């Protein structure tokens, strides 16, 4: 590449690579080593990508604009409130390198920030931070069925959202109580009356709905400034409608195996119901301790994890650690790779293959396991 990228994410079975470069984002074809899409002014965290039509196309959902520009205006004067946030649904044809705009919606001024987008099937979801004219903030989840061009505003604050066959699996974190829950909103809970036409006017007038989710797992976690629990979800290739769910609590730094605060890694198999009235099957597979004194960011289907840790001195470079929880009492396959101090924004793991992607001065290097 002409300049160094950051925030790498392998897409579509490691066929494409999404990176941040300069003031915009780009998608590159791994096999051909060419750029297939680029857009200036799009924040990397505001893009969700999904392959469609057997991988011949990519569906991109981007949010562009100036999310906080209106906060400096007079909130009591609607004429001075201006929000330039625009949500765009684009199709990129990989065979012809053409871009088609499927749908575009201007977000209302109350939508101060849209973040953490996810997409799967016919659904796109993101966390929305809103503000009213009185200066009060709240957090909701915007769910869009882009094929039917309808939406729901969900009255909740979700972390690590995942869309599974119309269901919504997520993690909630209560920092004041130091508790976390893995919850599931079934497809049947999104009733017809909740959906509205996806337009700017409907978004402006919409009130969030409260739907009680099914709690699959409750856990406590230790308090660390830079670490919170997370959940990683991967489809089980040989089991239709089943998913591998990995959860992890941050390390408190204790190496005492009998200390209840010690690091914990859990893996479950979630099988979704075939009918709307049946409950899902939440099956425990195994639990394991993990490396201490690191911040775990993700787990792959194979069990490899990516984490960052400082050296003994703050001036030492960070280290990437990859490991696989092989048994309930053992951790193997540790590998360390010295990187620059800004490594966290320049390294990622493929959720499918576990390939390690490292941004360098000349472009991107992708390492695969033998």
Indicate whether 313 and 236 sit together in one domain.
Answer: yes
Alpha-carbon gap, residue 25 to 39, rounded angstroms: 6
SS (HEC) of the chain: CCCCCEEEEEECCCCEEEEEECCEEEEEECCCCEEEEEEECCCHHHEEEEEECCCCEEEEEEEECCCCHHHHCCCCCHHHCCCCCEEEEEEEECCCCEEEEEEEEECCCCEEEEEEEEEECCEEEEEEEEECCCCCEEEEEEEEECCCCEEEEECCCCEEEEEECCEEEEEEEECCCCEEEEEEECHHHCCHHHCEECCHHHHHHCCCECCCCEEEEEEECCCECCECCEEEEEECCCCCCEEEEEEEECCCCCCCCCCCCCCEEEEEEEECCCCCCCCCEEEEEEEECCCCCCEEEEECCCCCEEEEECCCCCCCCCEEEEEECCCCCCCEEEEEEECCCCHHHHEEECCCCCCEEEECCCCEEEECCC
In Å, what is the CA distance from 248 to each residue of 163, 233, 287?
19, 12, 10
First and final C-alpha spacing in the chain: 26
Indicate whether 201 and 248 sit together in one domain.
Answer: no
CA atoms within 13 A on the CB side of 110: 20
Instruction: Let me know if residue 242 belongs to a domain.
Output: yes
pLDDT at position 199 is 93
Residue 203 φ then ψ, to 5°: -65, -40
Please identify which residue in the block is written with the tokens 């109350």: 110
Indicate whether 130 and 184 sit together in one domain.
Answer: yes
Indicate whether 151 and 253 sit together in one domain.
Answer: no
Tell me the β-bridge partners of 49.
Answer: 60
Instruction: Let me know if residue 260 belongs to a domain.
Output: yes
Indicate whether 115 and 190 sit together in one domain.
Answer: yes
Indicate whether 116 and 184 sit together in one domain.
Answer: yes
Total number of domains constituting the chain? 2
- Structure tokens belonging to residue 337: 């790779």
Binned average pLDDT, 10 residues per bin, the chain of 370 residues: 87 87 88 88 84 85 67 50 77 88 88 88 91 79 94 91 92 81 90 92 91 89 63 82 82 48 74 82 80 60 67 49 49 58 74 81 80
Instruction: Let me know if residue 309 belongs to a domain.
Output: yes
Please calculate the CA angle 162-165-169 and round it to the nearest 5 degrees. Answer: 30
Alpha-carbon gap, residue 59 to 322, rounded angstroms: 31
pLDDT at position 290 is 54
Instruction: Let me know if residue 45 belongs to a domain.
Output: no
Alpha-carbon gap, residue 259 to 268, rounded angstroms: 23
Indicate whether 137 and 249 sit together in one domain.
Answer: no
Instruction: Let me know if residue 140 belongs to a domain.
Output: yes
Q: Which of 220, 252, 278 is the last residue of a domain?
A: 220
Q: For 13-27, give one letter per residue: b (16+ CB within 10 A) or e.
A: ebebbbbbbeeebbb
pTM: 0.84
DSSP string, 223-240: -BTTB--EEEEEE-TTST
- Structure tokens belonging to residue 27: 């998608």
Indicate whether 206 and 279 sit together in one domain.
Answer: no
pLDDT at position 246 is 86
- Residues of the domain holding 279: 228-338
Indicate whether 300 and 185 sit together in one domain.
Answer: no
Indicate whether 233 and 209 sit together in one domain.
Answer: no
pLDDT at position 356 is 83
pLDDT at position 332 is 46
Indicate whether 235 and 265 sit together in one domain.
Answer: yes
């Amino acid at each position: 590449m002409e300049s160094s990228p950051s925030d790498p994410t392998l897409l579509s079975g490691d066929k494409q690579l999404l990176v941040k470069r300069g003031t915009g984002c780009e998608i590159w074809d791994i096999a051909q080593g060419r750029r297939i899409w680029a857009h200036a002014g799009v924040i990397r965290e505001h893009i969700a990508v999904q392959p469609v039509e057997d991988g011949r196309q990519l569906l991109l959902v981007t949010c562009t604009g100036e999310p906080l520009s209106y906060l400096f205006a007079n909130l009591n004067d609607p004429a001075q409130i201006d929000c330039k946030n625009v949500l765009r649904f684009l199709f990129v044809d990989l065979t012809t390198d053409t871009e088609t705009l499927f749908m575009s919606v201007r977000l209302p001024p109350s939508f101060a920030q849209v973040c953490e987008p996810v997409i799967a099937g016919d659904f796109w979801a993101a966390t929305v931070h809103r503000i009213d004219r009185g200066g009060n903030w709240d957090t909701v989840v915007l769910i869009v069925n882009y094929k039917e061009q309808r939406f729901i505003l969900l009255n909740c604050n979700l972390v690590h959202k995942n869309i599974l066959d119309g269901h919504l699996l997520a993690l909630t974190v209560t920092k004041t109580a130091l508790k976390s829950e893995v919850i599931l909103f079934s497809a049947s809970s999104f009733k017809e009356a909740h959906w509205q036409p996806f337009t700017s006017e409907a978004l402006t007038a919409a009130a969030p709905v409260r739907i009680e989710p099914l709690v699959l797992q409750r856990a406590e976690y230790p308090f660390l400034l830079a670490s919170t629990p997370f959940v990683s979800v991967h489809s089980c290739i040989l089991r239709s409608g089943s998913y591998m769910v990995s959860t992890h609590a941050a390390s408190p730094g204790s190496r005492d195996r009998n200390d209840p605060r010690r690091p914990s890694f859990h893996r479950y198999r979630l099988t979704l119901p075939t009918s709307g009235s049946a409950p899902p099957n939440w099956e425990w597979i195994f639990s394991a301790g993990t490396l201490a004194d690191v911040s775990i960011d993700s787990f792959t289907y194979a069990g490899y994890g990516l984490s960052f840790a400082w050296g003994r001195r703050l001036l030492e470079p960070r280290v990437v650690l990859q490991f696989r929880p092989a048994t309930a009492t053992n951790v193997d396959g540790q590998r360390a790779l010295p990187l620059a101090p800004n490594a966290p924004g320049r390294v990622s793991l493929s959720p499918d293959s576990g390939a390690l992607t490292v941004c360098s001065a000349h472009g991107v290097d992708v390492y695969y396991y033998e």
